[in-house]
Structure 1
Amino acid sequence: MRFLLFLVLATVLALAQVQARTLRESNESRQYQESQEMSPSWSHRHSSMWPCDVADHPQAYVLMHKVEKRLERIESAPIRHRIVEYVTDQLRQCKSHNQMDEHCVKRSIGYAMSFISHQKEQAKSEY
């Protein structure tokens, strides 16, 4: 009788463990899907505008996104190219041992915005 009771209890505990594991995996899967849905559309890994050595680092997405938004308002292709080259150089300086320093990228945002403004002002004075 005791053996039967022990067997039933062990079976119930095993089923509870399986159910808990299934729920945990389901929650993790749902959280992953929600995080993918909530990620901004600009968080793409590859772009024709940015070289892969900087575009492959998620830490750089914030700066790249801000620059892309500013570039939408600039019509001159040479200026756009100059800005992308400058920002790419800034991002490459933020890399160390193939890791992107997020704090360096955030500091570079101000430099990049200043550079963009300077380029726009310079273009206005030329015309």
Structure 2
Amino acid sequence: MKIISLGLLIACSFAWAEGANWRINEDYIDSDEYVRPRWTHRHSEMWPCDVADYPAAYLLIHKVEQRLYDINNEQMRNNIVDYVVNRLRKCKSDGQMDEHCVKRSIGYAMSFINRHQIPQQF
């Protein structure tokens, strides 16, 4: 019985410590000191601030940038960025970025890139 009580006490202590740690991390994320992921685009030259400053837009921007690495044509890259910026601007309303709209726009952006990519010569 003592072993079960000791095991339960250890498990509860661990759970309590993890719960306290989780709450501290949650408070940190809400603070101004939160460090953004490396692929965030605040004040990027490629992405205008009116869309890049919204955390909801980061995933789409990141996915598009990954695809842009494979495109050497500067005009094509600019057309893709313009298309994505316009899609993101359509997702804004009342000063907020609609996350669901952004997620739908990922498919549209990838389709746009596939349709307009110049076939590479092998």
| Counterpart for residue 117 of structure 1 | 114
The amino acid that maps onto 2:28 is Y
SS of alignment partner, residue 119 of structure 2 = helix
Post-superposition shift, 1:32?
Answer: 2.1
| Counterpart for residue 93 of structure 1 | 90
Question: How many matched pairs?
Answer: 96
Which structure 2 residue ranges, 5 or more long, are not aligned?
A: 1-19
| Identical aligned residues as a percent | 56
The amino acid that maps onto 1:124 is P
Q: Are residues 61 and 30 of structure 1, via their aligned partners in 2, closer, same or farther at CA, if it must alter by over 3 Å? A: closer
- Contact 2:41–2:47 (CA under 8 A) maintained in structure 1: no
TM-score by length of 2: 0.70
In the alignment, does 2:37 pair up with 1:40? yes
In the alignment, does 2:24 pair up with 1:28? yes
Question: In 2, distance between residues paired with 1:29 and 1:106?
Answer: 26
Post-superposition shift, 1:52?
Answer: 0.5
SS of alignment partner, residue 40 of structure 1 = coil
| Counterpart for residue 61 of structure 2 | 64
Q: CA RMSD in A?
A: 2.4
Q: Residue by residue, what CA displacement relative to the aligned partner does 1:47-101 show, whole Å, maximum 9, x if unpaired?
A: 1100010001000000000000000010000000000000000000000011100
SS of alignment partner, residue 70 of structure 1 = helix
Post-superposition shift, 1:29?
Answer: 6.8
Which structure 1 residue ranges, 5 or more long, are not aligned?
A: 1-23
